[in-house]
Amino acid sequence: MKIVVLKFGGTSVGTTNKIKKVAEIIASYKKKNFKVIVVSSAMGGVTNELIKKSLEISDNYSDTEHDVLVSAGEQMACSLIAGRLIHRGFKSRSWLSWQLPIITVGRHKNSRINKINKNKIMKYLNEGGIPIVTGFQGINYENRITTIGRGGSDASAIMFAKFFKAERCVIYTDVEGVYTTDPNKLKKAKKIKVISYEEMLEMASLGAKVMQPVSIQDARLNRIDIEVKSSFKKKSGTLITKRSKIINNKIVTGITSTQNDSKVSLIGVKDKPGVAASIFKPLSKNLINVDMVVQNISANGKDTDLTFTVKTEDLNKTKKAIQENKYINYRKLMFEKGVSKISVIGVGMITTPGVTFRMFQALANKKINIQVISTSEIKISVLIDTKNTKKALIALHKEFKLDNKK
């Protein structure tokens, strides 16, 4: 049985006219003799509207009721897609997460899919039907509706591909695929034909908004190939697959940038075991995500300077958590808004010397100062002044020959 999982994002199902086009895409797979499972997001903007209503009701809206509320968006979209397919003469129906069920574990608003009961969907597929399933949600072992984080419909689609051993998993969105950098920031950005899970995971976690990082990790762990393509243009997309399948002479695959980072520096912290843990423990408790971390030891070996970055919206919470922390001593606390993280990513960096020098030299040539540096096996990230972001993207895109056609 050739099963394909098709996922449609909020922009793809944003209007009834777009839903009609989605139905045509689904029909095209059916005509190619695929057994089609469709996973849909809510119509664009609907989830945000529902969240807005919850905030008008309460500034401390219940997490359990939040999940019940926001899951309504996918129910609407799925019904409309199924309704259009029925109109076109196909056998189709919508399925809500609890009707299968899709079992999740973890906290409300951020659960993970643990199991999908296949029986009903398999029976329906064998009868020639096209199931349209709500993404982004499931039910827990207490029989309460849960959601799996914003962008979670991607994760839903990947888990369906896993449990149903699908031949393909196609993520339909409003862009033609994954680009070397954000095409809205740089017109010379090129579509990437094939990218590894590792590269895509780095790009997603560093600011590329095509897919949710958790979804990429799920695909990598389960070795599920993903194709990302546009619902609006009949063009090939980007294949996300394992590294061994990729023949690529590019050292760097893509470049990402962030816009809303802030830098926090603690000067003159006593250098002793456990001090870093003491600093970051209250931040963790306040659900503040700490990113780039750099520690410098003073010449006397007694003091250290610690610098890290957080999202700007978390800066006030961070400041309060540090100032109220009685377990740390420091001479000075400094904050700086208006910084951006620029990252170059590519598996080719593993076997190619000189990438770090080329990156730093390209930025130096444009008189861009580097404030913080962070590296991994396939990534180099630097922190720079936000006003230099576009200049840095242009310089690095050119330096690593990403302007060239692939």
List, for residues 69-96, the tens digit of each pLDDT value.
999 999 999 999 999 999 999 999 999 9
Closest by CA position to 31, among listed 71, 77, 89, 73? 89
CA distance linking residue 331 with residue 132, whole number of Å: 59
For residue 16, give the DSSP letter. Answer: H
The confidence score (pLDDT) of residue 300 equals: 67
The confidence score (pLDDT) of residue 135 equals: 96
What's the helix, strand, coil split of the chain in %, to 5? 35, 25, 35
Closest by CA position to 102, among listed 79, 118, 124, 80? 118
Interacting residues of 1 by C-beta distance below 8 A, sequence separation 6+: 35, 125
The confidence score (pLDDT) of residue 352 equals: 87
Closest by CA position to 342, among listed 289, 386, 290? 386
**pTM for this model (two decimals):** 0.82
Report whether 84 contacts 20 (CB < 8 A).
yes
Report whether 108 contacts 66 (CB < 8 A).
yes
Q: Which residue has the tokens 């199991």?
A: 115
E strand or H helix at 30, and its extent?
helix 16-31
List of the chain residues with pLDDT < 50: none
Burial of 52 (0-12, 13-18, 19+ CB in 10 A): exposed
CA distance linking residue 24 with residue 101, whole number of Å: 28
Q: Pull the structure tokens for residue 220.
A: 């990598």
Helix segments in 32-144, DSSP class H: 46-57, 63-70, 72-87, 119-126
The confidence score (pLDDT) of residue 213 equals: 81
241: helix, coil or strand?
strand
Report whether 237 contacts 307 (CB < 8 A).
no
Domains (ranges, CATH) in the chain?
3-174 (3.40.1160.10), 257-399 (3.30.2130.10)
Strands 112-116 and 102-105: antiparallel
Report whether 336 contacts 267 (CB < 8 A).
no
The confidence score (pLDDT) of residue 87 equals: 98
The confidence score (pLDDT) of residue 301 equals: 67
